[in-house]
Every structure is written in structure tokens, then in C-alpha cells.
Amino acid sequence: MKQTTLLESHRALGAKLVDFAGWNMPVQYGPILDEVRAVRSRVGLFDLGHMGRVFVGGSDAVQFLDRVCTAFVAKIPIGAIRYAILCAEDGGALDDLLLYREERGVYAVINASNTAADLDWLDAHRAGFGVTIEDRTEATAMLALQGPRSQAVLERACEGADLAQLGYYKFTRGSVCGLADVHVSRTGYTGEDGFELTFPAGEAPRVWSALLEAGAEHGLAPIGLGARDVLRLAAGMALYGHEIDREHNPIEAGLSFAVSFKPEKGDWIGRAALAAIQAAPRRRLVGITSPGPRVPRQGTPVFSGDEQVGVVCSGAPSPTLETNIATAHLALGHDVAGQRLELDFRGRRQPCAVQELPFFSRTRK
């Protein structure tokens, strides 16, 4: 099993460790819902070292990514970040990723579970393009600070970067905890304001400890993967293998903002199929709330009377909403906000209601 350079730091904090996509990662340090509350009200520190980090360079880097990604990469300004999807020819999603447009190429952050497959996919489609593909996952560490006090914490540890002027989905470089040339971005997977830090892997234990110390007066807490999943679900953010996968395309999953059909982008893998789906969708990803005792989980059927009209993609209890929440792909006509449906738990029915995503949204910079 793979591990980040923070494994012993997690153990020292009493983390419960699990196998996540082949990585030994902390799922929680304490009660998961308490960790969710800490991020919503204060600030949390996450180890994202398991996420794939790949740099695509060379003279044709942008043209190559415009061929294999749904986003219009050539239109991403230097210093900006865009969400994109890798699709098969039939429009099914292979992975979702963040693209960071740099002067010398494009830096991509991808899902841990798909890193090897994504690298193989990119390599298989590079013929005819002048590109280099460098896997930086093991060489680098990635941490995230998330929550309303994240800027205040990072300002105590960061020099050379004006965090107040760093906009949402932008990145820069600065010194963090005395370490020069740290890649600092402002995105987040929680619905809160937050930052990501990328730097040499060997420095991670020192930077982790320094950030915990810098954030102590702000109530900073280490946060595991369990709370991260509840946070992203409330924020309506897709998780590969749940809201999107080979059988669920980005159009019906509400990710059309990441799909460009502009003629000047040229042709790209999956374009024709997604254009046809956009013209005649069959289902739509929506939110579901259910106050009943059972928590909807992936695979839970959704019924309207005797007819199954969809299936749950993700579900969890939400301390923010004080109810059970879930996402579900529902057949069109059953996806209207306020519509009453039922969840089926092995023959036991529980009422639920449709609502638009996200469940939670906070104004960001």
C-alpha cells in the first residue's frame, strides 16, 4: 500500500487509517461530524498527498489537452485553474481533474484511484503532439487548509504571496513555513474558502506541524477523508465513481460548465456523443433530503410509487443541514425540486424530497 510522507504524523494524532485507492490514508481523527463542523465554523487541515499530480509540458501541451479534455484549455489564463473531464468517445467520464495553466505548460491534479489509468490514457493519445508528461505525485506533497479562517491561518505562515488578492480558482507561488517556491492555490472541495499547498514531499511533516501550530489559536483541526466526503457532498461537488463514471456523463451530472463546444476549440474525444446527450438528456443529477432514520448510500434505489426512477450516487448525514442528504440521477420528469419520492432500503420505504444542488453554498472571494 502506498503512503504519503505524513503517515507517522497521522498516527501520532490518533488517526484511523484506511486503504483508499491503494493509499494508507486517515479517514478520521475523531468523530467525522465533529470534523465537518470544524471546517464549516473554523478551519481544517487535510493531507491530499494521495491525489495524482501531473505536469504536461512541451510545445503542444495546450493543444494536446484540448484534444483529450472537455474544457477549453487554450482559453485558461496563466495563473488560473479550471475544472475539466476526460471522456471516452461515448461521452462516459474517465476522470475529472483540475488544470492549472502555467507559463511552461499545464499542471493537472487528478483522482488517486485513477492516476495510473489517466497516465496510460494520456500516453495512448499523445501521438502527433509535442508533449512531455511528468508524474510528480511521489515527488511532491499536497496539503489543504479549508474553512472560514483558512486565510488567517495561512497568512501567519506565508510570505511573498498576497492571499487577499488571490482569487477563487487562481494560484501563485510564495514562501510557506520558511519553504520557498510553494505552489499556493485557492480552490477547495468543501464549499468553504480554502487553499492548497504543493511542495517537495520530504518537507511535509515539518510544514504540517508548523501549520497546526500556526492555526491553534483559530481552532484548526486535522481532517480525514470521511469529513471531506460529507463536506463535498453538501457543496454539491462530484466525486468520480459516484456522480460521474463510465456510465454517467458530465452533461447529465450537471457539469456542463466544464464542457466546451466552441468551434475554435476543435474536435475532442467525446464531443459528438456529449453534444447528442445535451440535445436529448434522459436523466439529471439532483439533491435529495430525507429526515428518516436510514442514511441513503450509493446504490439506494429511488422510487415514485411502484416505478424506480433513479438511484443514489452519494449520501451522508449532514450536521450543517441537520438531515440526511444525497445525490441521485433521476429520470427526467421526476427531477423537479420539491417532488416527493421514496428511498427503498431492501423493501423498506423512506420518504425523501428532491432539491437543487448544492445543498450548501458560501460566498467565496
Whether 277 is covered by a domain: the verdict is no
| pLDDT at residue 170 is higher than 70 | yes
| pLDDT at residue 358 is higher than 90 | yes
Whether 242 is covered by a domain: the verdict is no
Q: What are phi and psi of 119, to 5 degrees?
A: -60, -40
- Residues 32 and 158 occupy one common structural domain: yes
Q: Work out the percent of the chain whose per-residue pLDDT is above 70.
A: 99
Whether 257 is covered by a domain: the verdict is no
- Residues 163 and 230 occupy one common structural domain: yes
| pLDDT at residue 356 is higher than 70 | yes
- Residues 13 and 62 occupy one common structural domain: no
Each residue of 171-209: pLDDT tens digit? 999 999 999 999 999 998 999 999 999 999 999 999 999
Is residue 261 helix, strand or coil? coil
- Residues 127 and 166 occupy one common structural domain: no
Residue 174 burial by Cβ neighbours in a 10 Å radius (0-12, 13-18, 19+): buried
- Residues 26 and 58 occupy one common structural domain: no
| pLDDT at residue 271 is higher than 80 | yes
CB 300 within 8 A of CB 345: yes
Please compute the mean of the pLDDT values over residues 130-154 and round it to a whole number.
98
Whether 85 is covered by a domain: the verdict is yes
Q: How many domains does the chain have?
A: 3
Whether 264 is covered by a domain: the verdict is no
Q: What are phi and psi of 53, to 5 degrees?
A: -130, 115
Question: Which CATH number belongs to the domain containing residue 325 in this structure?
Answer: 2.40.30.110
Each residue of 25-63: pLDDT tens digit? 999 999 999 999 999 999 999 999 999 999 999 999 999
What's the distance, CA 195 to chain centroid?
Answer: 13
- Residues 297 and 225 occupy one common structural domain: no
User: Rounded CA gap, 126 and 108, in Å?
Assistant: 16
Last residue of a domain, one of 111, 135, 159: 135
- Residues 45 and 175 occupy one common structural domain: yes
CB 4 within 8 A of CB 49: yes
Q: State the residue range of the domain holding 230.
A: 7-51+138-234
Whether 171 is covered by a domain: the verdict is yes
Q: What is the pLDDT of residue 160?
A: 86
Each residue of 150-164: pLDDT tens digit? 999 999 999 988 999
Question: Which CATH number belongs to the domain containing residue 23 in this structure?
Answer: 3.30.1360.120
- Residues 225 and 143 occupy one common structural domain: yes
| pLDDT at residue 363 is higher than 80 | no
Q: What is the pLDDT of residue 365?
A: 46
CB 269 within 8 A of CB 87: yes
- Residues 24 and 151 occupy one common structural domain: yes
Last residue of a domain, one of 234, 267, 297: 234
